Amino acid sequence: MQEAHTLSEDVVNNPKHYNTGNIECIEAIEESMSSVAFKGYLKGNCMKYLWRYDYKGKQVEDLNKATWYLNKLTVIVTEENT
């Protein structure tokens, strides 16, 4: 099942509603918590999108969002282990 977006907005990597002002929301969240807490936040969001991807009617979008959070978590863990 393919999904089509009529808007040119990148709702996965750069959603407009999370990018107002001088700092992106994810950056503010990261700065507001410890590294352990932020990794838990990323893991939880990844799980959330995987859990519900089959129920909202936006399967590909939700899987892409889960991938985005997993990639962010992977970068952080990789940096910690190098």
pLDDT digits 0-9 by tens, 5-56 = 455 777 777 777 666 678 888 999 999 999 999 999 999 999 999 999 999 8
In a domain, 48, yes or no: yes
Which residues form the domain of 62?
Answer: 34-80
What is the pTM (predicted TM-score) of this model? 0.77
Please enumerate in sequence order all residues whose Cβ is within 8 A of that of 27, keeping only pairs 6 or more positions apart, or say none: none
| Residues sharing a CB contact under 8 Å with residue 60, sequence separation 6 or more, in sequence order | 2, 3
- Is 5 within the bounds of a domain? no
How much is the pLDDT for 2? 46
Q: Tell whether 59 is covered by a domain.
A: yes
Q: What are phi and psi of 76, to 5 degrees?
A: -65, -45
Q: Which pLDDT does position 24 carry in this prediction?
A: 86
Residue 18 lies in a domain: no
pLDDT at 80 over 50: yes
Domain count, the chain: 1
Residue 50 lies in a domain: yes
In a domain, 68, yes or no: yes
Note whether residue 53 is domain-resident.
yes
- Distance, in Å, from the CA atom of 80 to the CA atom of 76, rounded to the nearest integer, reads 6
User: Residue 9: its pLDDT value, please?
Assistant: 74
Helix ranges restricted to H, 1-82: 25-31, 35-52, 59-80
